[in-house]
Amino acid sequence: MAVDTLRNDRFLRALRREPTDTTPIWVMRQAGRYLPEYRATRAKAGSFMGLATHPEWACEVTLQPLERFDLDAAILFSDILTIPDAMGLGLSFAQGEGPRFERPVRDAAAIERLAVPDMDRELRYVMDAVRLIRRTLDGRVPLIGFSGSPWTLACYMVEGEGSRDFARVKALAWNEPALAHRLLDIVARSVSAYLIAQAHAGAQALMVFDTWGGMLGPGPFREWSLRYMAQVVDAVKADPASRDLPVILFSKGANGHLEAIADTGCDGVGLDWTIDVGEARRRIGDRVALQGNLDPSVLRASPDVVAHEARAVLDAFGHHPGHVFNLGHGITPEVDPESVKVLVDTVHAHGRAIRGG
């Protein structure tokens, strides 16, 4: 691992709930199609997986948003679906469409065949990308590694593609709970190994994306999503390579469960935009940091509206340590990069003003 000293540690300090000069910000999907330079590199690579599986390209696009904006963290350029791909499900992204698996997992035999992928073989390209990005960043900002949550990965693995209601995986959970638990357990062990390997390769914080946790009712959320994220947090906190790294859990649409998510032992809780960040703070207290939560659609509004709404999120959180500014979900392709500049600069300026600077 590189022995660089971090020149901007606002993001890590905020996750440890330590004071910072201003509020750190990064943007979910900050390396993405709204950037013309991303589209150009992707065209050269031919496909999304072409980009993600070549460490030089993955590194190039990871750094692109940092060249334009004063962001406080970089996030590994990859995807949550690399794990099921490495398990042999055959991932592809058709142009203009979502992800698709050639061999979805639909029955007991397919679940029994699954094994935890070898991080130094099938997923070596991810670890090589982490090492190269970390070296290239050279201490500029911290690097975030990530994974999908076990539940969210199981959603795609059973369905074989995106879905409005993920009815197949929910039917599996209702009809064959023991089998569904076997699936989630092996995915959770894979996610844990994947995050620990990223930490070993040089990631400085870890985030778990539970995009579809909010599709579950309250009891099922605890049984199928939260329980396996807690298993992952326990594993990450038990390994010497990763135990000192802050872990952020982001369950979209799970405002009813914020306290329970904070109780897993994670360091940060991601929020979507449907809750007031001040209310979330009052409910959870200051035992974890909060990350979020501007509605991504605000970035389609005029610069004045972007600045106004960004200040509103900062004011709602108030003058306390432990806030990482972000959107409440990923940035969308039609956003004008100039709006992101307005957002980042407004957050830093207003974050300073809140602190009396």
Residues belonging to the active site: 29, 33, 42, 79, 156
Find the shortest distance in angstroms from Cβ 147 to ligand CP3: 9
CA dist 97 → 72, 126, 161 (Å): 31, 23, 10
**Considering only residues 85-104, where is the footprint of ligand CP3 by CB under 6 A?**
93, 98-99
29 near ligand CP3, judged by CB under 6 A: yes
Rounded to whole angstroms, the maximal C-alpha distance in the chain is: 61
Give the separation between CA 252 and CA 80, rounded to whole angstroms. 15
Interacting residue with ligand CP3 among 15, 49, 75, 193 (CB under 6 A): 75
Task: Report the chain's terminal Cα–Cα distance, integer Å.
Answer: 36
From the list 280, 272, 235, 270, the residue with the least C-alpha distance to 249 is 270
Find the shortest distance in angstroms from Cβ 228 to ligand CP3: 16
From the list 75, 32, 227, the residue with the least C-alpha distance to 149 is 227
Give the separation between CA 129 and CA 77, rounded to whole angstroms. 8
Of 58 and 172, CB closest to ligand CP3: 58
Cα dihedral sign for 104, 107, 113, 116? Answer: positive
Exposed, middle or buried: residue 235 (CB in 10 Å: 0-12, 13-18, 19+)?
Answer: middle
In sequence order, what are the residues at sequence separation of 6 or more whose Cβ sits closer than 8 angstroms to the Cβ of residue 177? none
- The span of 2-10, 31-39, 194-202, 285-293 binding ligand CP3 (CB under 6 A) equals 31-39
146 near ligand CP3, judged by CB under 6 A: yes
Of 33 and 320, CB closest to ligand CP3: 33
Asked if 38 and 357 count as a contact pair (C-beta separation under 8 A), the reply is no
Of 53 and 354, CB closest to ligand CP3: 53
162 near ligand CP3, judged by CB under 6 A: yes
Of 87 and 354, CB closest to ligand CP3: 87
Of 33 and 103, CB closest to ligand CP3: 33
Find the shortest distance in angstroms from Cβ 353 to ligand CP3: 28
Give the separation between CA 357 and CA 349, rounded to whole angstroms. 9
330 near ligand CP3, judged by CB under 6 A: yes
Of 10 and 42, CB closest to ligand CP3: 42
80 near ligand CP3, judged by CB under 6 A: yes
Which tokens hold the place of 33? 């199609």
The annotation status of 156 as a binding-site residue, yes or no, is: yes
Find the shortest distance in angstroms from Cβ 110 to ligand CP3: 21
From the list 99, 95, 126, 101, the residue with the least C-alpha distance to 33 is 95
- The span of 78-86, 114-122, 169-177, 294-302 binding ligand CP3 (CB under 6 A) equals 78-86
42 near ligand CP3, judged by CB under 6 A: yes
Number of residues that bind ligand CP3 (CB under 6 A): 22
Site string for ligand CP3, 194-213 (x = CB under 6 A): ---------------x-x--
The annotation status of 29 as a binding-site residue, yes or no, is: yes
Asked if 209 and 146 count as a contact pair (C-beta separation under 8 A), the reply is yes
The annotation status of 30 as a binding-site residue, yes or no, is: yes
Give the separation between CA 283 and CA 54, rounded to whole angstroms. 43
What does the binding site for ligand CP3 look like in residue numbers (CB under 6 A)?
Answer: 28-33, 42, 48, 75, 77-81, 93, 98-99, 146, 162, 209, 211, 330
Query: From the annotation, which residues make up the binding site for substrate?
Result: 29-33, 79, 156, 211, 329
